[in-house]
Structure 1
Amino acid sequence: MKPIAFVTFSLVLIAGCNDAPQPQEIAVVNAPTEQTGKNTYLMYCAQCHGASGDGKGSLQLDRPARSFIDSGFSFGNTVHAISKTTSSGIPGTPMPPFSDVLTKTQIESVATYVRSFAKTLKEVTASETEMIVEERPIVARGMIPPINDVCVLHPRGLIIGNPDGFSYEYRVDDVRLLAIRQGRFVERADWGARGGSPLTILGKISVLVENGNPNSMFTTQDGDPLRAQLASTNTLNEYGIIRYDLFDKDNNRVASVEEFCKPTTGARALIEQIIVLNVSTPIKMNALQGTVLEGETNIPVGTSTRNIFHATKGIQ
């Protein structure tokens, strides 16, 4: 009985003491971002980039890893830019994507830590004219400059930027994919020019389709080229979508096409161009130089899907 009496007395005593210290909640204190980022960096990044960020890791690579001490950032030096590169990787290089390995918080922490290696680095903010792709795709339309020395300026161009850091440059007149890029998106230099000027395309070229001047992929069964006409774009999904119609020489619409592009996750660095066709008259689809077509060349009446694979090159 004594234990019971003691407990009862204790409860009454505690309840009656208004000035007695109340139980305190134990706050969970997260480790500082720099410390958390450092741990993640040492576990996943230091083998290539070195513990001090000097690019001298323990792994032997075909091409030396970047030195962060020398501000060697591939696609911008902001935490946002470094996070996107860490998440998506760099196709054609030993740098893999970490989006399936690390959480968003871990990626941002390691990006903050990586940025600290360059002690004299100043924060670079986007100008008012730069378009930044964040959680959803963006489409920029306007004049696009010559993609190389042998190509011409296109008054009507279109660039789709996806959240994974890739962008896709199209010529609108005949709706042809010219190049696939990675990195920052577009600066609207044309907004400040009275007569209009080309978009400043900021991403680095990962794939150049037929040297920037590709042929048409679509023909009639007799081999006559079909004319493509832009219908619309859609940015409501994970990847930006472009839609266009195909017409024969008599201006009859023979097919409607919807396509989008995304990087693959296999051993090779590839971009997959997924094309869905709704065909009213049988047509043919031909692979462009340097690409691989998955599926039959002949496209029958009805709905069909064909995949085109583009091999990326290493980005310097």
Structure 2
Amino acid sequence: MRSPFLPLALLIPCLLAPLLAQETGPTKELFMTHCAACHGEKGDGEGTTTLERPARSFLEGGFSYGNTPEAILRTLSYGIPGTPMPAFDVALTEGQRKLLAQYVISLGPPGTIVDPAQTELVVTDVARLARGLLPPISPTAEKQPRGLLIGLPSGTTFEYRTDDVRLLGVRSGRFADRKDWTGRGGTALEPLGHLIELIGSGKPKAPWRIATIGSKEAAKELGAAMRTSFTKDTVGGIGYELIDGGRSAGMVMETVSHVRTPAGSGWRRTFTIMSDTPDKVLRFDGLDVIKPSDLVDAHEVDLRKALDGHTDRLYGTQHWVVRKNRNGYQVTVIRSMDFLNQGGAVPGPRGDVGFWIYPSSRNVTVDIIRLTCLAWDDATQTAIIKECSK
């Protein structure tokens, strides 16, 4: 009599073959080449690279964006802003990234993939907005009755207050849960990503100031009245009017987008300022001042020299401010071609992050780019120069 277990015995090698091939084949080689230095050969987070904050252990699961193949693929494609995790969209093909995503998932504990709750807002391939009551972003902050979240496909979320427009913080991970849809009122919109940047301890001062030329009076804070919010493809934005004692001091269109380089990933805020203040100087101070003890580097880069004159879209100069933190090196880049043409400046090498706009400027565009990199060396600087000259 034929054994009923024989067919199953014959099937076992067939079932194990794909897993064994993944363990020893090209996918494992991809992991060893691009991931093992930080995450370890076994995916346990015990890599050879020295990190102040340990890399994620894939054996424990709990990925930032979820444990679906799509979520892991997004992380591999965009990186994780605020961490040394770079983007691999250039180094690896989409097919390689998909194979690597499946391999990373296979390292984690078994379990079912849970679908998002019905109230969860998910960002797919276009940016998304959510407005509503926001809970305090930090223990010392307050609720924001008129909050705005801008979520990008990269998994980066920008959290604003809009009664007097200010960026409160930047998050990384899932977007938001609209629990306020099911409550009786007063329930806050819940941001789901973890904070990678908190501005002013969650209670930032007004970022825009104005000063009269020749006056000894201190620069005066400006109000910022929201006029619009919008998304276009993978970019989100907010428009607001600068208010000086009840009078308009200019308009600002601010967009937020993702930045990815082989050296690290992060985000970009682009300001287009339309000012009509002939005898005044505008000043932006919308990011925290860097402590001198944390300052690693601060200098100006002439793109024409750095790129040997080879660039189709010249931004003239970039101003870099670099500080060391527990995730590596936080690099802030301020750039604007308009400064060369119409007048403007950024602070000197003191570690403060901001810029001035002189009266000769009328329509000025300024980028503030923030990246987190594992190292601060020539290769990192070259990668940033190439990205920021596009």
Deviations 1:134-183 (A, max 9, x none): 11100110110001111110111001011122110000101100001111
Contact 1:271 1:312 in 2 (8 A): no
Query: CA, structure 1 residues 202+299, in 2 after alignment: closer, same or farther (shift >3 Å)?
Result: farther
TM-score computed with the length of structure 2 as normaliser: 0.65
Range with greater deviation from structure 2 (107-116 or 287-296): 287-296
Partner Cα separation in structure 2 for residue 134 and residue 32 of structure 1: 30
Does residue 1:238 correspond to 2:234, yes or no?
yes
Aligned equivalent of 2:357, options 287, 298, 302: 298
Contact 2:173 2:193 in 1 (8 A): yes
> In structure 2, the residue corresponding to 1:262 is in which secondary structure?
strand
Contact 1:207 1:312 in 2 (8 A): no
1:171-250 equivalent positions in 2, closer than 5 A: 171-222=161-212, 223-249=219-245
Partner Cα separation in structure 2 for residue 49 and residue 166 of structure 1: 22
Partner Cα separation in structure 2 for residue 32 and residue 161 of structure 1: 37
Give 1:206 deviation, angstroms: 0.8
Query: CA, structure 1 residues 213+313, in 2 after alignment: closer, same or farther (shift >3 Å)?
Result: farther
Give 1:128 deviation, angstroms: 1.1
Tell me, which stretches of 5 or more residues in structure 2 are unaligned? 1-16, 213-218, 291-320, 322-333, 336-343, 346-355, 375-390
Partner Cα separation in structure 1 for residue 58 and residue 266 of structure 2: 27
Alignment correspondent of 2:93: 103
Tell me, which stretches of 5 or more residues in structure 1 are unaligned? 1-30
Partner Cα separation in structure 2 for residue 273 and residue 290 of structure 1: 17
Aligned equivalent of 1:261, options 246, 249, 256: 256
* Structure whose CA Rg is larger: 1
Give 1:48 deviation, angstroms: 3.0
Give 1:38 deviation, angstroms: 4.1
Contact 1:37 1:112 in 2 (8 A): no
Query: CA, structure 1 residues 146+100, in 2 after alignment: closer, same or farther (shift >3 Å)?
Result: same
Aligned equivalent of 1:278, options 270, 274, 277: 274
Give 1:310 deviation, angstroms: 4.9
1:124-139 equivalent positions in 2, closer than 5 A: 124-139=114-129
Partner Cα separation in structure 1 for residue 76 and residue 133 of structure 2: 31
Give 1:80 deviation, angstroms: 2.3
Partner Cα separation in structure 2 for residue 155 and residue 94 of structure 1: 34
Deviations 1:251-289 (A, max 9, x none): 322211111233545657654322110112244123243
Aligned equivalent of 1:56, options 46, 58, 80: 46
Query: CA, structure 1 residues 274+56, in 2 after alignment: closer, same or farther (shift >3 Å)?
Result: same
TM-score computed with the length of structure 1 as normaliser: 0.79
- What is the letter of the counterpart of residue 298 of structure 1? I
Alignment correspondent of 2:11: none
Give 1:199 deviation, angstroms: 0.8
Alignment correspondent of 1:145: 135
Give 1:126 deviation, angstroms: 0.7
Deviations 1:70-128 (A, max 9, x none): 11423322222222222222344442211222233332332122111224222121111
- What is the letter of the counterpart of residue 285 of structure 2? A
Deviations 1:281-314 (A, max 9, x none): 2441232433776552134352012334557699
Contact 2:229 2:237 in 1 (8 A): yes
Contact 1:207 1:313 in 2 (8 A): no
1:30-49 equivalent positions in 2, closer than 5 A: 35=22, 37-49=27-39
Query: CA, structure 1 residues 179+62, in 2 after alignment: closer, same or farther (shift >3 Å)?
Result: closer
Q: CA RMSD in A?
A: 2.8
Give 1:247 deviation, angstroms: 2.0
Alignment correspondent of 2:3: none
Partner Cα separation in structure 2 for residue 157 and residue 278 of structure 1: 25
- Identity score, percent: 38
Query: CA, structure 1 residues 98+268, in 2 after alignment: closer, same or farther (shift >3 Å)?
Result: closer
1:4-83 equivalent positions in 2, closer than 5 A: 35=22, 37-83=27-73
Partner Cα separation in structure 1 for residue 148 and residue 167 of structure 2: 9
- What is the letter of the counterpart of residue 255 of structure 1? G
Query: CA, structure 1 residues 94+247, in 2 after alignment: closer, same or farther (shift >3 Å)?
Result: closer
Which structure carries more strand by proportion? 2
> In structure 2, the residue corresponding to 1:170 is in which secondary structure?
strand
Partner Cα separation in structure 2 for residue 92 and residue 189 of structure 1: 27
